[in-house]
A = this chain, B = another copy of it.
Amino acid sequence: MTHLVNGLDDVVTEAVDAMVSASGGALARLDGYPDIKVVLRADWQRDRVALVSGGGAGHEPAHVGFVGRGLLTAAVSGEIFASPGVDAVLSAILAVTGEAGCLVVVKNYTGDRLNFGLAVERARGRGLDVRMVVVADDVALPEATQPRGLAGTLLVHKIAGALAERGASLDEVAAAAARVAGSVRSLGVSLSAVSIPGRAGNDRVAEGTVELGMGIHGEAGARTVPLDGVGDLVATMAATLTEALPDGPVALLVNDLGGLSGLETAVVLNDLLRTDLGRRAELLVGPAALMTSLAARGMSVTALPLDEELTRALQEEVAGHTAWPGARVPGEVTTRPLPDLGTQTWPASQHAPTRALLDAVCVALQAAQQDLDALDAQVGDGDTGSTFAVAARRVRAELDALPLLEPAALLGALSALLGSAMGGSSGVLGSIFFAAAGSSADTGAPIGQALSDGADAVRRTGGAEPGDRTLLDALVPATRVLRDGGTLGEAAHAAETGAVATAAMTTARAGRSAYVPSEHLRVQDPGAAAVALMVRAAADASA
């Protein structure tokens, strides 16, 4: 896997500098590169309890992204997945701790515990009032004597940060942090092993399986299970978390380990909110990439039992451009009625030859779905076959409801159907085609003329012409043949000739292929191929 890094020696210092530069003056760093990578609030006055956290790099935005008013005072970063050294932690503590003292929040990993622990001891040796809280929120291995610290750590930051910002004492801040650390629970899942710059890859997780209980440093999960739908997976995770929680309201945090799409995390959230645990959620944080494992494809769910104090602390505003995404009250899906689109309707009527022709065209499109997708994958986004097949399935499902006996009405009905069901460029082009053809037929034009008028409307609206490597290269010649009194067989031949010719057009001037370098354009345009296939199916059905 290719990584966007310049060199492993400087990757963390470069990243930290960027985060400080980008903070709009909210952050500063200690002048201790390369060993000491400490970021702190630029506006810090040592007038409240200081809050220090950190750990290895590779978890961004944690922890630098959580330095700000109402969150951390300082974050200490090590190298990728390696704890910072004790001098780095000690520097952070010394740089921010005043009379009010300092709370150090540590994820429960041996390295972090040792480095932060030693630094706390040394700071105490200098007379500073420093406490430490260790977060061990992982429930993946119930028998583990030392559960890992995961994204639940961020809820400790938020709650301790809110209290400290309000001016609470170190006793109060440390007590709240210990209470959160003692009750927050997390569980992770991973779709693949993490890829680490400069290290060999690992394809431990087989396609179609997931690792439950994965950590944030590429550690193998507690167990591998097949992925039988997100709903089942999320239900398993929620049930495992529930066993480790008391009854009552919770805050849920959904954390992207770095490499999931927004679509995927939303699907996860949708299922999570529908579990018993999800229905207990009075606050929701995320989904967002908060405590990542570089760009690992995986996520974690964190649950924190709520009371009034914690609810309030989680919802308090923070300042500075932090990565804290806010805590919201999740709710039912609110819907609003559809506006009246005033859709035209056409009374159903039967006409066996037309029905057979339409059905044959749709069957041919469904059969060609994979071939057309594969063709499109070479020049576009690989969905031409899928898009046409969606329309074909819908048209077949509606055959009984269509005005098969009335050509103008049928064309109008097909326009409406494709406009609402097909989507994509092809859907609207089809809708335009049939709408214009229907209007033409409605004024009395013969069917061949009407279809040719439809093709002209597609040219106008889409801004393309024959020769531009689009479906017009098949549609225009075929409809011209029909307009001029030719047979469907002749039209099919014209469409096929036009489609074949697109393979020699190495400059696409319209459609998505216009964005593809010409050396990729050595195959037929998939839209033109689909049109040719449809006209051929129509000719065969009516022969």
Contacts and interface: CB of A to CB of B under 8 A. Distances in A.
How many A residues are at the interface, by size bracket? Answer: 35 or more
A314 to B, nearest CB: 13
B338 A328 contact: no
A61 B262 contact: yes
Interface string A136-157: 0010110011101000000000
Interface stretch (A302-310, A329-337, A357-365, A528-536): A329-337
Contacts of A258: 261-262
A264 B419 contact: no
Given A4-B264, A30-B339, 14 more contacts: A2-B205, A2-B207, A7-B229, A18-B266, A22-B284, A24-B328, A31-B336, A40-B336, A78-B423, A82-B423, A91-B341, A109-B512, A146-B510, A219-B381
20 contacts: A4-B233, A5-B267, A6-B229, A6-B230, A18-B269, A20-B333, A25-B329, A29-B334, A35-B421, A82-B423, A88-B420, A110-B425, A111-B424, A118-B419, A118-B428, A148-B515, A199-B382, A219-B512, A220-B517, A258-B261
B373 A338 contact: no
Contact of A331 (B24, B205, B514): B24
Contacts of A114: 425, 428-429, 432, 461-462
Nearest to A24: B328
A2 B83 contact: no
A14 interface: yes
A4 B84 contact: no
Nearest to A338: B32
A395 interface: no
Interface in A21-73: 21-25, 27-32, 35-36, 40, 42, 57-61, 65
Contacts of A61: 262
B60 A110 contact: no
B514 A145 contact: yes
Nearest to A283: B24
A406 interface: no
A511 B3 CA distance: 28
A167 interface: no
B336 A326 contact: no
Given A270-B15, A292-B261, A380 B422 contact: no
A217 B29 contact: no
Interface stretch (A170-178, A208-216, A448-456): A208-216
